[in-house]
Amino acid sequence: MDTDAITHLTTNALTLCLLVSLPAVGVAAAAGLLIAFLQAVTSLQDATISHGVKFLVVTVVIIVAAPWGASAVLQFAQSVMHTVFP
């Protein structure tokens, strides 16, 4: 296994990590902005509302995106095994 293969696998691993975490992070950011806007409009400044809503939304997104993320990680692991042990 040469340096190019290691660099390629590392790049793929970091990209996969970004792609698998992106749905949860994106939805958490969007929910946080929406809740912050609603709290500013209604003058309701309670931190538990924001955290509770984000927790529920991110939990639903993780449940929905888990099969896709698991299959992507499995495919990457199989490609690593085929590269390391031909």
Confidence category of residue 47, pLDDT binned at 50, 70, 90: confident
pTM: 0.80
Total of domains in the chain? 1
Q: What is the mean pLDDT of residues 74-85?
A: 93
For the chain, the straight-line distance linking the first and the last C-alpha, in angstroms and rounded, comes to 10
Predicted local confidence at residue 62, as pLDDT:
96
The 3-state secondary structure of 33-63 reads HHHHHHHHHHCCCCHHHHHHHHHHHHHHHHH
Across 7-31, average pLDDT: 95
Q: Which of 9, 11, 19 lies closest to 81 in space, CA to CA?
A: 9
For residue 50, is pLDDT > 90? no
Domain that holds residue 40: 3-84
pLDDT, position 59? 96
Residue 2 near residue 65 (C-beta atoms within 8 A): no
